[in-house]
């Protein structure tokens, strides 16, 4: 990155710190009557307002200070999308401490790793999740106090535990909010990668503030919106939905615990409260569609469903559009990126110009880089790929809400995770002439052969289209000359056999000759992980000498 050049001095208040504390205090002042509709762990709904609830935020801040939490300390939180979770979003950073997200779905081993790595001195946990932390409390020796979120007393065996509601009843509201520097950590999140330990990302007040502005803009959020975060609030801060609501003064709907059983209630809240913005993954929006349809809902005009995690099927986008006049907005991001870095909003001009088929193809793309996000896609040699919608490369990201490192990671380990100040996403994508990106692979699943890339997923999908083939797995194996070469495992349909010529002939419809695998193997079963995905690591190990 070019060195920073200093120009003529400005006269502005450039030392005014961007802080999330200012955000909530100003929202309470500007939008005191904005409603918060919320559902607790017992399934009961309630209503409050920004102004009315603010006293609890200031009491919670006072209570944490009284517990001995100081500026810079980390406080862990493990909860559903509840009102108390919302309060903690603001109360912990209010005293300069770090709101540390604890993912309730982490394996126990990773959970106490996260608590210890973040050095959380206090951990706050919802009553329904106490059984999880009871198991790991003995290994989490740094935790001085456990705080339980509940309606009343509960049975538990946590040491040094107190009740949040008791703390609030005893506390003095915070009397003066410290002026926290904008580069101080506001919150922390940990990656949930499939390999290695979770890695810590510490969001600054500045990064979160700018992410909020940008997401509000990208969603055209306004004071007339009603925002319901479905993505868990322990998952990259629910992608900033709560913060966006507070910035624009929107009504907020906090649906509590989300599960298959509560779909009826949550879709009920969506229609009854007039929700206009929500977020989630395709695996949530798909059953939601069915429930809404079965309830006879016909019009959800104005609703934007921010969809991430994985690619929404074109049929899902089209169904919401045609049945409810609702817009599925596809986005892309990661724990390391706060998370939103691309949003797919098709312009009116494109809508007029393109056929429904073309629009569907666009819907499957992840969209354009947000302003202020420096996104580039580079091939194996680090050169930017052409914007032709076909050539793929790894997505690299730079920007004010992208991480520059991982918590406590030694320099030598960081080296291959960043290049020239860009964070390496590990995602492989194409970019088209409109700047829309489309993710095609994870980098680890791409075969790098002689500086060029071959998509293992595309090749698997192509082979599954062969009438003799039931399953296919393609991996890259080390090769002395070409770095890697593709290798294929096939499970055939009953009684079939297949030749290399037959494979080549079939693959030539989509692949160049140099991309075709020299070797393959027919097997009875393809190695799989516990969740049923192809275990490429096992395959690579088993056949590692094939091209050597």
Q: Which residues are catalytic?
A: 191, 336, 448, 453
- Min dist CB 357 to its own copies, Å, is 21
Separation of alpha carbons 376 and 393, rounded Å: 9
Return the number of other C-beta atoms located less than 10 Å from residue 51's C-beta. 14
Choice from 106, 120, 147, 248 touching its own copies (CB under 8 A):
248
- Of 274 and 380, CB closest to its own copies: 274
Q: With the C-alpha atoms ordered 182, 104, 38, 85, is the resulting torsion angle positive or negative?
A: negative
**Contact between 32 and its own copies (CB under 8 A)?**
yes
Q: Which is nearer to its own copies, 391 or 471 (CB)?
A: 391
Residue 282 or 333 with smaller CB distance to its own copies: 333
Binding mask 9-28 for its own copies (x = CB under 8 A): xxxxxxxxxx---xx--xx-
Q: How far is CA 415 from CA 319, 448, 513, in A?
A: 44, 20, 35
Binders of its own copies among residues 514 to 543 (CB under 8 A) are: none
Contact 31, 223 (CB under 8 A): yes
Nearest C-alpha neighbor of 479 from the set 503, 450, 507, 456: 450
Return the range that interacts with its own copies (CB under 8 A); candidates 140-148, 180-188, 281-289, 437-445.
180-188
Distance between CA atoms of 218 and 60, rounded to whole angstroms?
32
Q: Which 98-127 positions form the footprint of its own copies (CB under 8 A)?
A: 98
Binding residues among 287-326 for its own copies as defined by CB under 8 A: none
Please, what is the minimum distance in Å from the beta carbon of residue 113 to its own copies? Answer: 17
Q: Is residue 344 close enough to count as binding its own copies by CB under 8 A? A: no
Asked if 547 and 478 touch (Cβ cutoff 8 Å), the reply is yes
Alpha carbon 316 to its chain centroid, in Å, reads: 20
Distance, CA of 334 to chain centre: 5
CA distance linking residue 271 with residue 263, whole number of Å: 12
Closer of 27 and 140 to its own copies (Cβ): 27
x/- letters, 357..376, toward its own copies (CB under 8 A): -----------xx-xxxx--
Residue 30 makes contact with its own copies by CB under 8 A: yes
Q: Which of 43, 159, 178, 264 is in the footprint of its own copies by CB under 8 A?
A: 178
Instruction: Name the residue nearer to its own copies (CB basis): 103 or 204.
Output: 204
The least distance separating its own copies from the CB of residue 242, rounded to whole angstroms, comes to: 15
User: Of residues 77-96, which lie at the interface with its own copies (CB under 8 A)?
Assistant: 96
Residue 388 binds its own copies (CB under 8 A): no
CA angle 287, 288, 294 (to 5 degrees): 90
Q: How far is the CB of 437 from its own copies (least distance, A)?
A: 11
Distance CA(44)–CA(151), nearest Å, equals: 11
Residues near 262 by beta carbon (within 8 Å), at least 6 away in sequence: 43, 255, 256
Among 301, 347, 497, 525, binds its own copies (CB under 8 A): 347
Shortest distance (Å) from residue 368 CB to its own copies: 5
Distance of closest approach, residue 115 Cβ to its own copies, in angstroms: 15
**Residue 150 within binding range of its own copies, rule CB under 8 A:** no
Q: Does residue 345 belong to the site contacting its own copies (CB under 8 A)? A: yes
Closer CB to its own copies, residue 97 or residue 334?
Answer: 97
Total binding residues toward its own copies, as defined by CB under 8 A: 88
- Find, among 482, 497, 490, 481, the residue nearest to 519 by Cα: 490
> Can residue 71 be called a binding residue for its own copies (CB under 8 A)?
yes
Binding to its own copies in span 423-462, by CB under 8 A: 433, 435
- Least Å distance, CB 34 to its own copies, is 9
Residues 210-229 that bind its own copies (CB under 8 A): 210, 213-214, 216-217, 220-224
- The whole-angstrom separation of Cα 518 and Cα 487 is 7
Based on CB atoms, which residue is closest to its own copies, 150 or 403? 403
User: Between vectors from CA 164 to CA 159 and to CA 167, what angle results, nearest 5°?
Assistant: 100
- β-pairing, 368-369 vs 393-398, is unpaired
Residue 85, token pair as written in the block: 């979770």
With contact defined as beta carbons under 8 Å apart, do 36 and 53 qualify?
yes
210: its two tokens: 């700018």
Please select the residue that binds its own copies; options are 46, 72, 450, 451, rule is CB under 8 A.
72
Helices 205-218/20-30 angle, 10° precision? 50
Q: Quick one: 15 or 412, whose CB is closer to its own copies?
A: 15
Identify the residue among 135, 160, 172, 179 touching its own copies (CB under 8 A): 179
The DSSP symbol for 16 reads P
User: CA 107 from chain center: how many Å?
Assistant: 18
Alpha-carbon distances of 40 from 37, 45, 234, 371, rounded to whole Å? 10, 7, 16, 37
Piece in contact with its own copies (CB under 8 A), picked from 4-12, 60-68, 129-137, 355-363: 4-12
Q: How far is the CB of 285 from its own copies (least distance, A)?
A: 23
**Pattern 49-68, binding to its own copies, x per CB under 8 A?**
--------------------
Measured from the CB atom, the residue of 19 and 231 that comes closer to its own copies is 19
Residues 6 or more apart whose Cβ sits within 8 Å of residue 355: none
Query: What DSSP designation does 260 have?
Result: G
Q: Is 45 helix (H, G, I), strand (E, B) or coil?
A: strand
Q: How far is the CB of 180 from its own copies (least distance, A)?
A: 6
Residue 183 engages its own copies in binding (rule: CB under 8 A): yes
């Amino acid at each position: 990155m070019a060195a920073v050049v200093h120009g003529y001095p400005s006269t502005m208040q450039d030392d005014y710190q961007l802080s999330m504390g200012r955000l909530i205090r100003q929202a309470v002042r500007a939008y005191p009557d904005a409603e918060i509709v919320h559902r607790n762990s017992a399934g009961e709904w309630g209503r409050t307002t920004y102004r009315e609830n603010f006293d609890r935020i200031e009491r919670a801040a006072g209570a944490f200070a009284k517990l001995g939490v100081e500026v810079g300390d980390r406080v862990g939180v493990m909860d559903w999308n509840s009102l108390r979770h919302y309060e903690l979003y603001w109360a912990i950073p209010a005293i300069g401490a770090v709101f540390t997200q604890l993912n309730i779905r982490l394996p126990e081993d990773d959970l106490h790793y996260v608590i210890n790595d973040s050095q959380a001195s206090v951990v706050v946990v919802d009553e329904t999740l106490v059984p999880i932390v009871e198991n790991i409390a003995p290994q989490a020796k740094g935790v001085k106090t456990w705080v339980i979120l509940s309606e009343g007393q509960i049975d538990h065996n946590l040491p040094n535990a107190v009740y949040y509601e008791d703390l609030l009843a005893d506390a003095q509201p915070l009397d003066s909010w410290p002026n926290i520097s904008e580069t101080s950590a506001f919150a922390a999140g940990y990656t949930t990668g499939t390999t290695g330990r979770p890695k810590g990302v510490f969001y600054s007040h500045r990064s979160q503030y700018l992410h909020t502005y940008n997401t509000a803009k990208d969603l055209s959020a306004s004071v007339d919106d009603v925002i319901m975060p479905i993505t868990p609030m322990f998952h990259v801060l629910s992608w900033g939905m709560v913060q966006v609501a507070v910035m624009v003064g929107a009504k907020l709907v906090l649906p509590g615990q989300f599960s298959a059983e509560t779909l009826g209630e949550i879709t009920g809240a969506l229609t009854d409260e007039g929700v206009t913005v929500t977020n989630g993954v395709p695996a949530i929006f798909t059953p939601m569609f069915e429930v809404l349809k079965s309830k006879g809902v016909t019009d959800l005009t104005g609703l934007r469903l921010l969809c991430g995690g994985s690619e929404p099927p074109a049929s899902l986008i089209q169904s919401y559009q045609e049945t409810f006049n609702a817009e599925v907005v596809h986005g892309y991001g990661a724990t390391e990126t706060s998370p939103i870095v691309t949003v797919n909003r098709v312009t009116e001009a494109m809508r007029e110009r393109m056929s429904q088929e073309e629009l569907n193809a666009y819907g499957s793309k992840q969209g354009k880089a947000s302003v202020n996000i420096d996104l580039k896609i580079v091939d194996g040699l680090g050169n930017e790929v052409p914007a032709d919608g076909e050539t793929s490369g790894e997505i690299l990201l730079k920007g004010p809400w992208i991480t520059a490192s991982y918590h406590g990671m030694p320099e030598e380990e960081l080296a291959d995770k960043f290049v020239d100040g860009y964070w390496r996403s590990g995602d492989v994508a194409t970019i088209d002439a409109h700047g829309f990106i489309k993710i095609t692979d994870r980098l680890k699943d791409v075969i790098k052969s002689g500086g060029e890339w071959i998509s293992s997923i595309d090749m698997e999908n192509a082979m599954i289209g062969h009438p003799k083939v039931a399953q296919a797995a393609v991996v890259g194996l080390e090769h002395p000359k070409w770095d890697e070469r593709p290798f294929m495992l096939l499970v055939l349909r009953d009684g079939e056999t297949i030749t290399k010529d037959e494979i080549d002939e079939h693959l030539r419809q989509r692949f160049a000759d140099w991309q075709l695998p020299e070797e393959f193997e027919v097997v009875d079963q393809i190695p799989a992980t516990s969740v049923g995905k192809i275990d490429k690591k096992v395959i690579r190990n088993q056949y590692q000498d094939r091209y050597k």
